[in-house]
Amino acid sequence: MNYRKGYFILSLLCLTLFMGLKSSAQNIQIKGQVVEENSKQSLAFATVAIVDQATKKAISGSITDDEGYFDLDTSASNFYVEVSYMGFISKTIKTFDIKRNTANLGVILLAEDAEQLNEVVVQAEVSRNEFKLDKRVFNIGKDISNTGVSALEVLSNVPSVSVSIEGAISLRGSQGVQVLINGKPSILTEDSGSLGSITADMIEKIEVITNPSAKYEAEGTSGIINIVIKKEERKGVNGSVTLNTGVPDNHSVGLSLNKRSEKFNLFTQIGLGRRSSPQDSENINNDLINNTILYNIGESFRNEKFYTITLGTDYYINDNNVITLSGNYAFEDEDQPSDNNYQLFDEDENLVSEWNRNETTEASNPKWQYELQYKRDFEDHEDHDLLISATGRSFSKDQNSLFSDKTVSGSDYDATQRTRTDFGENTFTFKLDYTKPFSEKWSMETGVQYVLSDVSNDYEVQNLINGNFETDFGLTNIFEFDQDVLGVYVTGAFDSGKWGVKPGLRMEYTKVNTLLVDTDEANNQDYFNFFPSIHTSYKISDMVSLQAGYSKRIYRPRLWDLNPFFNIRNNFNIRQGNPDLQPEFTDSYEVTSIFDIGKTSLNFGLFQRYTTEVIERVSTSSNNVIVQRPENIGTNSTYGIEFNTKISPVQWLSFNVDFNYNKFSRVGSFQTTVFDFKGDQWNSKILAKFKFPADIDFEATGNYNSKYQTIQSEVSDNIFLDLGLRKKILKGKGVINMSVRDVFESRIQESVTVQDDFEAYSKNKRGRFITFGFSYGFGKGDAMEYSGSRRR
């Protein structure tokens, strides 16, 4: 329950009810200051009531200001004063001196009520999983193993979500995912590495929307993942600080501050840190035409220093109108060394040559995001509102790499290369959303959104020839990408309490222009699409509910899908883009049943997706150089089941189980190769939580991902375990944590590709990560443990 908000509203009601009882002729003025006993910090918005001695009923009241002061008057003659604040022991004052019609109560000290605070935590705790009509909510503050990790690692523990070692995010086995922050695209979701600047301590919850309504952008064929960043709105000053350290290097400091008054809500989050992500790799390229085999064993690092700051303010014009101005700046300073050993064997397995390839890469990535938002709440209904926003995002990368190949034995492979990347992206989003309830049962939503994206990637490769670096024009070009998307939507909803339905229609016009500047190769497209959706729910009883939904989705190729000029870190395994790619379209259906049985909740669902113009990476090989390039290849039909449950057999033990299985059928061809095949895959997560005495919590999370087939390869299965331990200290305001990710270093990703002219094997491993953390809430704030279930 939202106790503090209730106290605040009650106080305002008291003021309203008793304003008319004031009498200036015989009034007695009562004033003083309310202060927290331990910290001696003032308590804003404490309730001060004047109570009749005979009836024990309040006859007047007030609340303290930002500094804890109060000043009220009464015409009563037989009364006492009662001071109360949520989480503190109330104080009754019956003896005081009245001089010149004034009673100065001085400083009133309130002590924390430990028992009451404990009750608040228990009662305010939200479930780890919450199921709503069109989304599932995952509350982050409940998982100890998220200590000190980034948003990418947090996502790997979210039901239905999988994250590969390379950082590719999948939802129900599909990578066509739209990742949002606070309901909007962000510079921090443009690539998986950028999610590292968001730590778990900053996240309040993650929303998984497998079948979005027409209100949401149509982008993302498998659905939407929305990362909700914490924003404290309690009255007064609130704050928390977090310290983390770990092995390999993973050190960070986070500070969250908030000050809320009647007119303003000021908030900021500051984070800085350093981390290292080592990766071991092994690749085998087998050229079946020339009968040669290339072995490659490598080690690479991504060492980063990162800084992030968020500043914002809400200005409450009045009770119905609020303006929000916020900005975020993030900066990453990257160092990416790698060391690879190559061995080339002939058809008789004789060593032809051996050489080492060393890389030194430095990059700086400044990122900006800023937003101006206006919200109007209409008085006729709490859900009647208008929201207008303008958002700007900017991301740039300045990267330089030096590659040095040194021959160890055999044929001469000595070479020196260097690359330069100058990348810039600017995106502007303008949005209007309007919600209008016509009655308690009928409502409507409508809105418009316009997104403009302007991207440029200047990539150059140079080879050292006779002591001078010369540009390799076959690998060098400037790629420009411009995309504008205009969307308009309308939805209607009927909800009788037992049965509800929400149909909607979204229309989007897309214009895309790509240009390779040096070769003057242009590809311009524009298309107009309709995206219908419908959701319905039926409540069979208080324990059983059914939900069903349909939506049409699109995946538009991104810059890295389109840009043919990429990285040459491993110049025998190269990834390229394809500027001729067409968008994917998906029809998504699902039916879900929800059972609440005592302390156990069960969720069982069936889903089906049909995708056309499927984008897959196709590998080709020549002289042991494997090139992967995305192509539109046919259709994909996927059927699946999903099961989630939470079981608490005893008070100190609970289990969260997530299981996902899907079976797919692929039909397609590329050039002369047919890629028709059928396959399946499944994954499961089990989270066990233990509550021990002395406020100690322990949890273990097991993950299993089955093997599965792609159009050319088979990806092996993997299983790994994460552990977490938490201890509350300092009366619950402090929390110490420890987490171990991939305890047995078993999270290994392997794939095997077998084709008529080549075979390939790939293996990657990250290893074990250990993190220690400390969080402390000050002022009226809580330690970061409560990020998903904050007290108010």
DSSP lists the bridge partners of residue 102 as 29, 99
Distance CA 592, CA 596 (A): 13
Indicate the residue type of 433: D
The answer on pLDDT for 571 being more than 80 is yes
Q: Domain for residue 187, yes or no?
A: no
Alpha helices in 458-597 (DSSP H): 559-562
Output the CA angle 237-245-787, nearest 5 degrees. Answer: 35
Stretch among 161-165, 185-189, 675-679, 743-747 having the lowest mean pLDDT: 185-189
Q: Domain for residue 175, yes or no?
A: no
Looking at residue 15, what is its pLDDT?
43
pLDDT band at 744 (very low <50, low <70, confident <90, very high): very high
pLDDT tens by residue, 330-353: 899 999 999 999 999 999 889 999
Q: Are 575 and 557 in contact (CB under 8 A)?
A: no
Distance CA 140, CA 149 (A): 12
Q: Are 309 and 284 in contact (CB under 8 A)?
A: no
Q: What value does the mean pLDDT take over residues 433-444? A: 91
Q: Domain for residue 121, yes or no?
A: no
Distance CA 40, CA 67 (A): 11
pLDDT tens by residue, 50-84: 888 877 777 777 778 767 888 888 878 788 898 88
The answer on pLDDT for 382 being more than 80 is no
- Domain of 19: which CATH number? 2.60.40.10
Stretch among 674-678, 730-734, 755-759 having the lowest mean pLDDT: 730-734
pLDDT tens by residue, 7-24: 444 444 444 434 433 333
The answer on pLDDT for 390 being more than 50 is yes
- Domain of 726: which CATH number? 2.40.170.20
How is residue 498 annotated by DSSP? S
Q: Are 173 and 381 in contact (CB under 8 A)?
A: no
Between 474 and 42, residue with greater pLDDT = 474
Using alpha carbons, select from 391, 272, 382, 406 the residue that is nearest to residue 324. Answer: 391
DSSP lists the bridge partners of residue 644 as 603, 658
Looking at residue 2, what is its pLDDT?
44
Stretch among 166-175, 191-200, 561-570, 613-622 having the lowest mean pLDDT: 191-200
Distance CA 109, CA 94 (A): 15
Element (H, E) at 602: strand 600-612
Residue after which a domain boundary falls, among 57, 83, 113: 113
Say which residues have a Cβ less than 8 Å from residue 701's Cβ, sequence separation at least 6.
143, 145, 157, 685, 686, 687, 688, 721, 722, 723, 724
Q: Domain for residue 395, yes or no?
A: yes
The answer on pLDDT for 1 being more than 60 is no
Structure tokens, 567: 């990285």
Q: Are 606 and 590 in contact (CB under 8 A)?
A: yes
Computed over every residue of the chain, the mean pLDDT equals: 82
Say which residues have a Cβ less than 8 Å from residue 397's Cβ, sequence separation at least 6.
363, 364, 365, 421, 422, 423, 424
On whether both 241 and 95 belong to a single domain, the answer is no
Using alpha carbons, select from 268, 269, 300, 262 the residue that is nearest to residue 282. Answer: 300
Looking at residue 333, what is its pLDDT?
93
pLDDT tens by residue, 219-267: 876 677 777 766 554 455 677 888 999 999 889 998 888 776 767 778 8
On whether both 102 and 242 belong to a single domain, the answer is no
Q: What value does the mean pLDDT take over residues 579-605? A: 86
Q: What value does the mean pLDDT take over residues 605-612? A: 94
Indicate the residue type of 264: F
Q: Which of 99-113, 360-374, 595-609 has the highest mean pLDDT?
A: 360-374
The answer on pLDDT for 123 being more than 50 is no
Q: Are 14 and 41 in contact (CB under 8 A)?
A: no
Residue after which a domain boundary falls, among 113, 134, 163: 113
Quote the strand ranges of 517-652, DSSP E: 521-539, 544-555, 573-575, 584-597, 600-612, 615-622, 625-632, 635-650
Distance CA 261, CA 247 (A): 42
Q: Domain for residue 214, yes or no?
A: no
Distance CA 255, CA 234 (A): 17
Looking at residue 5, what is its pLDDT?
44
On whether both 107 and 240 belong to a single domain, the answer is no
Structure tokens, 35: 């202060």
Structure tokens, 675: 């890629």
How is residue 443 annotated by DSSP? E
Q: Domain for residue 178, yes or no?
A: no
Q: Are 730 and 776 in contact (CB under 8 A)?
A: yes
The answer on pLDDT for 158 being more than 80 is no
Domain count, the chain: 2
pLDDT band at 116 (very low <50, low <70, confident <90, very high): very low
Stretch among 234-248, 548-562, 630-644 having the lowest mean pLDDT: 234-248
Distance CA 247, CA 177 (A): 31
Residues written for the chain: 792
pLDDT band at 173 (very low <50, low <70, confident <90, very high): low
Looking at residue 790, what is its pLDDT?
27
Other C-beta atoms lying within 10 Å of the C-beta of residue 515: 19
Q: Domain for residue 155, yes or no?
A: no
Q: Domain for residue 171, yes or no?
A: no
Between 143 and 178, residue with greater pLDDT = 178
Indicate the residue type of 752: V
pLDDT tens by residue, 31-55: 899 888 876 777 777 788 888 887 7
The answer on pLDDT for 127 being more than 60 is no
Q: Are 425 and 389 in contact (CB under 8 A)?
A: no
How is residue 150 annotated by DSSP? B
Looking at residue 721, what is its pLDDT?
93
Say which residues have a Cβ less than 8 Å from residue 765's Cβ, sequence separation at least 6.
165, 279, 280, 281, 745, 747, 748, 749
* % of the chain surpassing 70 pLDDT: 82
Indicate the residue type of 175: Q
Containing structural domain, residue 609? 236-788
Q: Are 150 and 215 in contact (CB under 8 A)?
A: no
* Greatest pairwise CA separation for the chain in angstroms: 111
pLDDT tens by residue, 686-724: 988 898 888 888 989 899 999 999 989 999 999 999 998
Structure tokens, 765: 């491993």
Stretch among 176-185, 526-535, 581-590 having the lowest mean pLDDT: 176-185
Say which residues have a Cβ less than 8 Å from residue 780's Cβ, sequence separation at least 6.
234, 236, 237, 238
Indicate the residue type of 40: K
Residue with the two structure tokens 């699109």 = 554
Distance CA 786, CA 792 (A): 11
Distance CA 24, CA 15 (A): 16
Distance CA 785, CA 792 (A): 14
Looking at residue 602, what is its pLDDT?
83
pLDDT band at 186 (very low <50, low <70, confident <90, very high): low
Using alpha carbons, select from 335, 267, 270, 334 the residue that is nearest to residue 307. Answer: 270
The answer on pLDDT for 361 being more than 50 is yes
The answer on pLDDT for 274 being more than 70 is yes
Residue after which a domain boundary falls, among 113, 134, 156: 113
Alpha helices in 141-189 (DSSP H): 151-155
Distance CA 250, CA 277 (A): 9
Looking at residue 541, what is its pLDDT?
84
How is residue 612 annotated by DSSP? E
